Structure 1
């Protein structure tokens, strides 16, 4: 059994998939199994996966006949293996060859850390360098779960979940939900299980392109459908708040930590996303009334 499982969910990813797989095969830490799950692609994705699986015995490929949504696919690749460590990967992003090795070094040295990821640099659809925030600001090394929640809320974890984590800790979360911003909720649940470490070097290479799953123009309802084509959420923002609460209840925390974590969710929902946003909400209402 390999030390690490890597899960790569994909749907119609022919344009960038081959390069993404190559960057994983080139990792200096090679003791892994790569599970690729194709979510009913209609392009050359299955052929690309089979070609790489034939060339590298570490690769396992499975395919669904229909698109069941991103949440199903992300969870499928997690459940496919049983190694002590696990990492998700995207079909359009790349990794520095030392990415996995550097994250594994931290996890082996720091038992309190349950997830380690690195800073990022950015490329466009053609692979040219573009500007972007290197840090996701989710270096959550506080001792108590509610302290880590306080440090986490208000950040934007665009690449945290592509770090390397301890399978046991990830398995205690609810994994990927089928609702908008399920990735944010999952990071909060991981932080409840233990510390999150950010390596301050841009070893993750994030590709920004027109077909990316989320952009500033993507609505919450569109994002929810990406997670699950059957999603019918009427108020996605309210759903996210409810799921933060459910995540705390699911975490299995001692009572003092559970109460403190509920308090942090309430503070974030009522103050950060409520009263502090009132001027912005008022401006939107005024603009709408004007139109």
Structure 2
């Protein structure tokens, strides 16, 4: 089928050393029952066979554009590049290790077409293992926020600490372009989802399925220093400052969109979130790490030990 106009959907697939799974991810995109899309692959200077695999798919299907970075920009910049190069009315980030159900795009496009207030259509997210076999994991579904205010949607998403189904759902391009996009720290996606919640509502497309793969090299399983190097190769490996950077990012977001929601409301919700005792403790540890990374590690280890003892006592308590 020839497309004389811009594609309705753009899919951005940022990848680094993804030879184990990227072919399966691409095949699941090409096998969609929705045809009007482009696939933009941004290869972050992979050193394995990723380039060969992606270039072969691009040679066989004109809907694919393969772009290779001269150096590793970090995951944040590479994710943003995939969006910057896209041309569609709707946009989706694709993980190189995930698999889309055949009707994913059809159902998500329909959900966004049906209501202009929706800025993200998200699927049901089911787990698979490294061999592609189903696991018992089913991601939670957040409450319906369709009739709520932007300030309340922001509060819910800030407290959610991330949500893969929405992160890898289908986004409205004209809303996403108004955002800060990804910043170079691990957890930036949490702030970006909160920002999108200020701009519109999220809707579930229950018949759209995303299979999320769990495997040993998945970013969420890496230690914080390695996660920072994945997001930003030029960052400090000694102290990732993940939480404090997210707080600063969220403050920048609420200021950026102060015409949508008055600063007082969003800052109130942000402060209520930050004052959670566990978050206060994390911020304290990050501050200690500026002076003494060794002391930070000792305090963190002591805190984890105390939590384990508390859980052990509670597990032995009669129910």
1:237 to 238, 243, 246: 243
Paired with 2:151 and 2:270, the residues of 1 have a C-alpha distance of 9
Q: 1:195 to 1:255 in 2, by over 3 A?
A: closer
Q: Would the aligned equivalents of 2:28 and 2:99 in 1 still touch at CA under 8 Å?
A: yes
The structure having more radius of gyration, on CA atoms, is 2
Q: Pick closer, same or farther for the CA change 1:266–1:23 going to 2, 3 Å.
A: same
Q: Distance in 2 between matches of 1:99 and 1:272?
A: 39
The aligned residue for residue 19 of structure 2 is 14
Instruction: Verify: 1:227 aligned to 2:227, yes or no.
Output: no
How far off its partner does 1:275 sit? 7.1
Deviation larger for 54-63 or 194-203: 194-203
Matches within 5 A, 1:140-219: 140-155=145-160, 156-201=162-207, 203-215=209-221, 218-219=222-223
Distance 1:138 1:76 in 2: 32
Q: Deviations over 1:200-229 (max 9, x none)?
A: 4560000001111112xx333332221111
Counterpart of 1:65 in structure 2 is 70
TM, length-normalised to structure 1: 0.89
- Structure 1 Cα separation of the partners of residues 9 and 51 of structure 2: 23
Query: Contact 2:44 / 2:69 at 8 angstroms: preserved in 1?
Result: yes
Tell me the equivalent position of 2:254. 248
Q: Which residue of 1 aligns with 2:310?
A: none
Q: For the Cα contact (< 8 Å) 1:134–1:202, is it kept in 2?
A: no
- Distance across 1 between alignment mates of 2:17 and 2:169: 23
**Distance change (3 Å), C-alpha of 1:42 and 1:266:** same
- C-alpha RMSD over aligned residues: 2.3
Q: Secondary structure at the match of 1:107?
A: helix
Structure 1 distance, partners of 2:108, 2:118, is: 10
Q: Secondary structure at the match of 2:220?
A: coil
Runs of at least 5 residues in structure 1 that lack an aligned partner in the other structure: none
Q: Deviations over 1:13-54 (max 9, x none)?
A: 111111100000111111011000111011111111111111
Range with bigger deviation, 133-142 or 44-53? 133-142
Deviation at 1:246, TM superposition (A): 1.1
Q: Residues 69 and 78 from structure 1, CA distance in 2 versus in 1: closer, same or farther, beyond 3 angstroms?
A: same
Q: 1:123 matched to which residue of 2? A: 128
How far off is 1:153 after superposition? Answer: 3.0
Q: Classify the secondary structure of the residue corresponding to 1:135.
A: coil
Whether the 8 Å contact between 1:145 and 1:261 is mirrored in structure 2 is no
| 1:36 corresponds to | 41
Kindly tell me the number of residue pairs found equivalent between the two proteins.
Answer: 282
Supply the distance in 2 between the matched residues of 1:11 and 1:283 (Cα, whole angstroms): 32
- 108-117 vs 197-206, which deviates more? 197-206
TM-score, structure 2 normalization:
0.82
After the TM superposition, which residues 270-285 of structure 1 pair with which residues of structure 2 at under 5 Å, given as runs? 270-271=275-276, 273-274=278-279, 284-285=302-303
Shift of 1:159: 3.2
Query: Following TM superposition, by how much is the alpha carbon of 1:180 offset from its aligned partner in structure 2, in angstroms?
Result: 1.8
* Structure 2 portions without partners, runs of 5+: 1-5, 283-298, 307-319
What does residue 24 of structure 1 align with? Answer: 29
For the 8 Å contact 1:140–1:191, the answer to whether it is kept is no
Residues 126 and 209 in structure 2, CA contact (< 8 A), matched pair in contact too: yes
